Amino acid sequence: MFSLLLLLIRTLEAQSSAPMWVSVSISIHHQMKVLCGRSLGCSNNDDIEVESDADKRAHHNALERKRRDHIKDSFHSLRDSVPSLQEKASQAQILDKATEYIQYMRRKNHTHQQDIDDLKRQNALLEQQVRALEKARSSAQLQTNYPSSDNSLYTNAKGGTISAFDGGSDSSSESEPEEPQSRKKLWMEAS
């Protein structure tokens, strides 16, 4: 309301060359209504204007208080989320430590992602080796179940097989049992 009066007085001074007391003696009440109605869209009732301004001010203050409380709560939440902060930390410290913590977590996530990618590659290589070994085992079983198509193995009268390379020794069940094949160890390249 006071600023509106100052505005009115300055307007009146600018409009007339008469001394201030003459301008003020003009119906200030009327001038305020005209000025208020024209530029601010106020009502004609001065009491309502005063209440309206007070209500606006109170509403604005309440909104500003709510905004400040929200910012304060957000800083407290951020402070509680960063492990290296104490209870009493300034907002600048909270922002600084939060930035450091975010950068640290990004580096840590990047390292973990690299580890995951390395493990996936290692897993794929192991699966490929398992498939190759299973294929080799199944082809070895096929060769023992079915005689070879080449002429290096012959069947003797007892039903045993004779190899052309072992000097005619019998490989039937009467001979000594063969030693089990030793398994090959798989060596992984370090990535």
Q: What is the pLDDT of residue 90?
A: 92
- Is the four-CA dihedral 11, 12, 18, 19 of positive or negative sign? negative
| Closest listed residue to residue 31, CA positions, set 15, 17, 54 | 15
Q: Is 147 helix (H, G, I), strand (E, B) or coil?
A: coil
Q: What is the pLDDT of residue 42?
A: 52
| CA–CA distance, 13 with 94 (Å, rounded to integer) | 53
Q: What is the pLDDT of residue 24?
A: 44
| CA–CA distance, 92 with 146 (Å, rounded to integer) | 81
Q: What is the pLDDT of residue 139?
A: 86
Q: What is the pLDDT of residue 149?
A: 54
* CA 94 to chain CA mean position, Å: 20
Mean pLDDT in order along the chain per 10 residues (191 residues): 54 53 46 52 52 88 96 94 88 94 96 96 96 90 66 53 49 47 50 42
